[in-house]
Structure 1
């Protein structure tokens, strides 16, 4: 998939296209219905399929004091747009100045003028232009005047009436319901970050962990202990390695922690050296909330149970604590 960040990146020989637009945060099932229609229509017409997305998130630009935590990083978003079959994605740098374009200016200048749209595919809830006053009906009216076709894709959701959306994913993650979030996403929820040095308390107890911190990991679920996978690139290879992990999210109240971190213990491994690596964490199921215990022995008993629970959820062999003397690094 081609990725364009400015008009200069767009090939000069670009022909007509089928365009879809949106933030596509998480690229959930609702997004994929729109993307599938975009790709199918482009193939039927023999033209390129193009997605217009925005970075940073418009809500963060308009309300900087209440920034949106993205469900997925921009890199993962682009990977998933490519996996959906999109031929090219234009990443529009979103600013307050850019947001001043009227609906007609936005459609005529960017979608039709810059991206050469002969057809536009959006969800039925799409909004665009200054103040988000543009909608599906306005898009159809503009299509009649400017000469492009419009396809509105109906909302999709679950049997309980919840519409699949990035907002819904965030709601579920805020409750620790990572399996519910996976139903909307169509895959496990993933965060990504660089492994950094922690306090190394876990390795002293036989539970070495890969520690991730920072504000750019993606949407971190509610505090608790989870079963999941640590995903890393195999050194000197493009292949991905999935390692079963017990994942702790929180401030570590047992040791009066303050900073919220994500710590992943790979079951049974004492030989990993992950410092400085960019890894992903896939959350599969929440095992329990985060709380402190009356003694270190009580904590260790619960951590042993967490390892058993993780192995059961993931369908892998059970592994106990590792020998602290054999831990190389993590």
Structure 2
């Protein structure tokens, strides 16, 4: 399934006239999880009711990375993937405002006047119950409501979203799941299977000599994903989706001193992928990474991993529209 690319805009002066008067959803939206989706769906519903465009307004890089660069955030959805998900949902555009320390010093009133009113000419803003903005986090949903009454825009505040266990869905919970390799619970919180996108790199091609050629990807160094073997689906830019088995980690049997690498063996596939940006969607963590006593036992285990991954993937069903678009084609 090919999704029409959503417009990505990073400067207020680049906002086209046809987006002015929009309904805007504001937030970091890292993960675009079920809680975020409640905010985004509310914005889409209002935009449809008022027959205006729906725009998602977010910030790049993640504010926490700006203030604590020595502790970069494990991004669940980097900007391109976040925009892709917004496009699948039906947004006309994503505005990715550059977040700097200087930008953080803008007052809440200035943010509203320059960005929401001046830049986007909004008719309505939709945000979560805990959204704060502006210098010293002085802006709040109530602040937005008061400004809207003065400046002529409406405000919708979405209440906290809880999962089936009555717990709040949050990006930090999802990161904790991925750190433990619990991609199934992460999917339940996200509303779709966890997915990464990266360029396929040329590796040492050892897998090819063993009969298991892999598509290799380097994830960001802050990606705190549990090492091990996963049942995955591999998606290409042409929209095709393929089953596979992936290893994420340090390749202890052959290269214990290397950097972490995501290596995907795509079933029944033999095409050149080098330089292509592809997606890997995680369905199950099959086992931990381990060191084998030579290549022969490694190959035998890889065969077992492949069989288990095929069994897992044969029974999967899409969790919803986002999951279908990412991993079912």
Task: Provide TM-score, normalisation by structure 2.
Answer: 0.87
Q: Which residue pairs with 1:328 in the alignment? A: none
Change (3 A) 1:310 1:257: farther
Once the two structures are superposed, residues 162-182 of structure 1 have per-residue CA deviations (whole angstroms, 9 ceiling, x without a partner) of 322222221111111111111
1:319 is matched with: none
Pair member with larger Rg: 1
Contact map agreement 2:228 2:286 (CA 8 A) in 1:
yes
Alignment-derived partner of residue 118 in structure 2 = 113
Asked if structure 2 preserves the Cα contact closer than 8 Å seen for 1:2 and 1:89, the reply is yes
- Deviation track 1:4-39 (CA, whole Å, cap 9, x = no partner) reads 222221224654222211122222211111111111
The question of whether the paired residues in 1 share the 8 Å contact of 2:20 and 2:122 is answered with: no
Cα distance, 1:220 vs structure 2: 5.8
Which residue in 1 is equivalent to 2:305? 306
Which residue of the partner structure matches residue 326 of structure 1? none
Which of the pair has the greater relative contact order for Cα pairs under 8 Å at 6+ separation? Answer: 2
Report the secondary structure of 2:72's partner residue: coil
* CA 1:106–1:279: 2 relative to 1, 3 Å: same
- Alpha-carbon contact 1:72-1:219 (below 8 Å) kept: no
Tell me, yes or no, if the aligned pair for 2:104 and 2:135 is still in contact at 8 Å: yes
Alignment of 1:251-330 (within 5 A): 251-255=250-254, 256-269=256-269, 271-315=270-314
- Corresponding residue number in structure 2 for 1:224: 228
Once residues 311 and 200 of structure 2 are traced to their aligned partners in structure 1, the CA distance between those partners, rounded to angstroms, is 26
CA distance in structure 2 between the partners assigned to 1:294 and 1:12 by the alignment: 64
Correspondence for 1:47:
52
Q: Pick from 177, 183, 189: which aligns with 1:178?
A: 183
Relative distance call for 1:13 and 1:185 in structure 2 (3 A) is closer
What is the alpha-carbon distance in structure 2 between the residues aligned to residue 147 and residue 44 of structure 1?
A: 18
Report the counterpart of residue 148 of structure 1 in structure 2.
153
Q: Does the alignment pair 1:165 with 2:170?
A: yes
Determine the C-alpha separation between the residues in 1 that align with 2:300 and 2:150.
Answer: 69
Point out where structure 2 has 5 or more consecutive residues left out of the alignment. 1-5, 316-329
Mapping for residues 1-150 of structure 1, pairs under 5 Å: 1-12=6-17, 15-150=20-155
Secondary structure at the counterpart of residue 127 of structure 2? strand
Structure 1 residues 62, 5: CA separation in 2 closer, same or farther (over 3 Å shift)? same
Say yes or no: does 1:199 pair with 2:198: no
Give SS of 1:233's match. coil
The alpha-carbon deviation at position 48 of structure 1 amounts to 2.3
CA distance in structure 2 between the partners assigned to 1:160 and 1:311 by the alignment: 31
The alpha carbon displacement at 1:214 in A equals: 4.6
Residue aligned with 1:156, SS: coil
Partners of 2:13 and 2:119 within 8 A in 1: no
Rounded to whole Å, the distance in 1 between the matches of 2:305 and 2:84 is 32
Any gaps of 5 or more consecutive residues in structure 1? 235-239, 317-330
